[in-house]
Structure 1
Amino acid sequence: MVVVEEERSIEGGLLQLDNQNDDPECRITACVIFSTVVAICASFSFGVATGYTSGAEIELMKDLDLSIAQFSAFGSLATLGAAVGALFSGKMAMVLGRRGTMWVSDILSITGWLSIAFDKDVMLLNFGRISSGIGFGLTSYVVPVYIAEIAPKHVCGTFTFSNQLLQNAGLAIVYFCGIFMTWRMLAVLGALPCIIQVIGLFFVPESPRWLAKVGTDKELENSLLRLRGRDADISREASDFKVMTKMVENDSRSSFCDLFQRKYRYTLVVGVGLMLTQQFSGSAAVISYASTIFRKSGFPVAIGMMMLSLFVMPKTMIGLILVDKWGRRPLLLMSTSLLFTRRFPGAGLACEPVGSIESGWDLVIH
């Protein structure tokens, strides 16, 4: 009798596991993978833009006879443009949709990259830099949001982390290719992923969460069926999107001043503190001017850039693998601790940061 009950218990557990695997909200379909790949094409271009000043610095200053001040201004214009793009990214994503915003970002980025690639004076060079910066300001918001809204909930962190993975891939490529490619060819290389995304966006579905707000029920269902499979039961997920949309609409009626209420104090301090820690870590300066750091320190620039290109990808892969297993907070604590580790007195060994903590900020948001 006991044996029979145990067999039934085992069979029940297996059936429950099968039902979980058959859950349409947990399916990883080809459409989800393809849509994610198309979205992160812009992230690759973003990574190229981040490291472009480091890979192109020497030849660019020589060919256009730029002073240090002019080149520094050129590098900083991308940050200025990104701030402008980020300022309007949320509103644009709500009005034009996730795909529409990515198209606008691509147009700005391609225009900027080609302006840099074919420029003959400083004005066109700076215009290209600020134009691509605005595009990447839009990209930094809309790409992780789009991926988080289409990915199955149990692998949402991993899929969203692919945005950071492709940024680091672009950074590694520009570091490596900058050794033997001209600065004009590097600019063309940065434009190619955006061109691929422009074409790929015609074949991916719109975000179901955005459609739940502005679209019809039919459009929402078609998007979910493409993402979860034509034979999937998407009624529960569609209902969840509608309920969540109504909750967001109610919250959106609040004013900016409501953010400083006492009940939001802890959340506000954590969010702002993480962003400040990221910016004050100095990682952006190291990434953008790595070649100058190597040259000033007397280290061979080509060897240093090649070592960096080989280093940035593995540390991102670690985060990609562990994000849904360990969680966001442990990874943030580990990366922040390693970033601020200093030389141990008397040990004779220096513990250097294993990577930027930027990869953790997206994880906290999603």
Structure 2
Amino acid sequence: MGEERATVLQSESLLVREGAGENSSSVTTTLVLSTFVAASISFGVGYIAGYTSPTQSVIMEDLGLSIAEFSLFGSLLNLGSILGALVSGKTVDLLGRKGTMWVLYIFYIVGWLAIAFAKVPWLLDVGRLLLGFSNGIAGYLLPVYLAEITPKNLRGRFTAGVQMMAILGLSTMYIVGPFINWRILALIGIIPSLVQLPLLIYIPESPRWLVNVGREEEFETVLRSLRGKKANVFEEAASIKDYTDSLKRLSGGGMLDLFQPKYYHSLIIGIGLKVLQHSGGSNAYTYYSGVIFTSAGLSKYVGLSTLAVIQMITAIVGASLIDKFGRRALLLVSSAGLCFGSFLTGISFLLQGHHLWSEEARILALISIWVYMGSYQAGMEGIPWVIVAEIFPINVKGAAGSLAGLTGNICSWTVSYNFNFLFQWSSAGTFFIYSAICGVCVIFIAKMVPETKGRTLEEIQASLTTSP
């Protein structure tokens, strides 16, 4: 066993020195098509997340729901995501990245149909739960698939671009949601899945998954299609094979294998990021921004439409900067913006509660929500999953993805379910709590999170994995 570990460590060191044989690559048609399919799924994820914000009052009125019943409906997206996260790693490893996409579309279509034709609350809840289950799997699947098909010089931008599509879906819901019947909105949600189904036939499986399951001939063909016919993929293919083979000799990839001392550093980073990402109020702002705007004395329609524009602008900026300034820098700026934005939201409600500067407090509330959601979309929305996809080796990536998704979604459910009750208790105090959590997030990123830009997956993983 000692010689085996030494061999693996020598192999990892060789990969780091040689740069894992992955040269800068051009954009190919296959890569673009694969990214487009992933982006379509991401758009659907964002569309689902924004559904409750413009529809809360009309759904409650049409179906006679109480605040508690609608809070349950809203939070079931996260409960479903918890269930999806539990099986995401094993599902993606067993069925493959592409195979899992086929399964997702079935759940998306059935979930939206259940909501669109719901006459009773339980059917509405079932639909929301199914959509959450799909989102829980997709949250892990998309960054892993993209990280495994893109070359290192394009990985950050492509992954951030796909994450930006989730923001486009969310923004679309914010803009059109207030003007379209909630049942029609649910039917519109089926469209991305119908568009993607025929395209799935033409996209490749992840090359790293193929070599991990022993389909080496198909692996080389897929890698060449992703890099281009003229690209020299020999060194990259050899590096991926060597690294994957060395990992197979050490562990089987189960959940217990993840809790080895050599993975502790990666676990702290991955789980810590997901917990802090979802504990700082992001789901409260996303699901209930319409209620927040109305409570602050602002027009829900003006607030949601302007918020949609702000989110798109900051998402584009974040996606364009991720490979220039790096993941860590964007995370620091983003989390600091979350801390500041939620603090300002708390101040605005505090002023209104004491009937001070009422007009100025409303304007402050609007700006603070812009700051919070803009900061979130610029970094904290997507980068934590990017890092989780980068830092764990393929032999434990499935287990790590399930655990990260599970812990993050438990925090999401806690925030989304309790927001309405906390908001009734103290509107200002709620946002001060979120601000404090975001402040902890800034410190965590500064102390624990490494920079991963410009490095191959094998380099990143070798640098974080320590010998037990």
What TM bracket, shorter-length normalisation?
0.7 to 0.9
Identity %: 40
Distance of aligned partners of 1:339 and 1:24 in 2 relative to their CA distance in 1, 3 Å threshold: closer
Tell me how large the CA RMSD over aligned residues is: 2.3
Post-superposition offset of 1:207: 0.9
Distance of aligned partners of 1:215 and 1:269 in 2 relative to their CA distance in 1, 3 Å threshold: closer
Amino acid at match of 1:87: L
- Aligned equivalent of 1:29: 28
The answer to whether the Cα contact below 8 Å between 1:97 and 1:206 also exists between their aligned partners in 2 is yes
Distance of aligned partners of 1:182 and 1:252 in 2 relative to their CA distance in 1, 3 Å threshold: farther
Distance of aligned partners of 1:260 and 1:34 in 2 relative to their CA distance in 1, 3 Å threshold: closer
- Aligned equivalent of 1:242: 241
Deviates more, 1:246-255 or 1:127-136: 246-255
Q: 1:359 aligns with which of 382, 392, 406?
A: 382
- Aligned equivalent of 1:273: 272
- Aligned equivalent of 1:297: 296
Post-superposition offset of 1:50: 0.7
The answer to whether the Cα contact below 8 Å between 2:139 and 2:385 also exists between their aligned partners in 1 is no
Residues in 1 aligned to 2:262 and 2:214: alpha-carbon distance in whole angstroms = 34
* Gapped regions of structure 1 (runs ≥ 5): 1-22
Residues in 1 aligned to 2:210 and 2:254: alpha-carbon distance in whole angstroms = 25
Matched, 1:55 2:54: yes
Residues in 1 aligned to 2:151 and 2:319: alpha-carbon distance in whole angstroms = 16
Post-superposition offset of 1:240: 2.0
- Aligned equivalent of 2:65: 66
With the length of structure 1 as denominator, give the TM-score of the two structures: 0.87
The answer to whether the Cα contact below 8 Å between 1:28 and 1:152 also exists between their aligned partners in 2 is no
The answer to whether the Cα contact below 8 Å between 1:102 and 1:143 also exists between their aligned partners in 2 is no
- Aligned equivalent of 1:119: 118
Amino acid at match of 2:384: W
Residues in 1 aligned to 2:165 and 2:211: alpha-carbon distance in whole angstroms = 29
- What number of residue pairs does the alignment pair up? 341
CA displacement, residues 241-288 of structure 1 (integer Å, 9 cap, x when unaligned) = 212322332454377566566665544433333222212210111110
- Aligned equivalent of 2:285: 286
* Gapped regions of structure 2 (runs ≥ 5): 1-21, 348-359, 391-468
Amino acid at match of 2:147: A
Amino acid at match of 1:364: I
The answer to whether the Cα contact below 8 Å between 2:84 and 2:137 also exists between their aligned partners in 1 is yes
Post-superposition offset of 1:145: 0.9
Distance of aligned partners of 1:94 and 1:34 in 2 relative to their CA distance in 1, 3 Å threshold: same
- Aligned equivalent of 1:195: 194
Amino acid at match of 2:30: C
Decide which structure has the larger Cα Rg and report it. Answer: 1
SS of residue matched to 1:179: helix
Amino acid at match of 2:375: G
- Aligned equivalent of 1:161: 160
Deviates more, 1:188-197 or 1:335-344: 335-344
Post-superposition offset of 1:303: 0.7
Residues in 1 aligned to 2:263 and 2:33: alpha-carbon distance in whole angstroms = 38
CA displacement, residues 166-211 of structure 1 (integer Å, 9 cap, x when unaligned) = 1101000000011211111211222211222222111111111111
SS of residue matched to 1:205: coil
Distance of aligned partners of 1:263 and 1:212 in 2 relative to their CA distance in 1, 3 Å threshold: closer
- Aligned equivalent of 1:231: 230
Residues in 1 aligned to 2:254 and 2:40: alpha-carbon distance in whole angstroms = 35
Post-superposition offset of 1:225: 2.4
Post-superposition offset of 1:78: 1.0
Distance of aligned partners of 1:270 and 1:148 in 2 relative to their CA distance in 1, 3 Å threshold: closer
Residues in 2 aligned to 1:63 and 1:254: alpha-carbon distance in whole angstroms = 48
- Aligned equivalent of 1:91: 90
Amino acid at match of 1:128: G
The answer to whether the Cα contact below 8 Å between 1:108 and 1:131 also exists between their aligned partners in 2 is yes
Amino acid at match of 2:107: L
The answer to whether the Cα contact below 8 Å between 1:161 and 1:362 also exists between their aligned partners in 2 is no
Mapping of residues 300-311 of structure 1, within 5 Å = 300-311=299-310
Distance of aligned partners of 1:251 and 1:49 in 2 relative to their CA distance in 1, 3 Å threshold: farther
Distance of aligned partners of 1:68 and 1:227 in 2 relative to their CA distance in 1, 3 Å threshold: same
Amino acid at match of 1:318: V
SS of residue matched to 1:157: helix
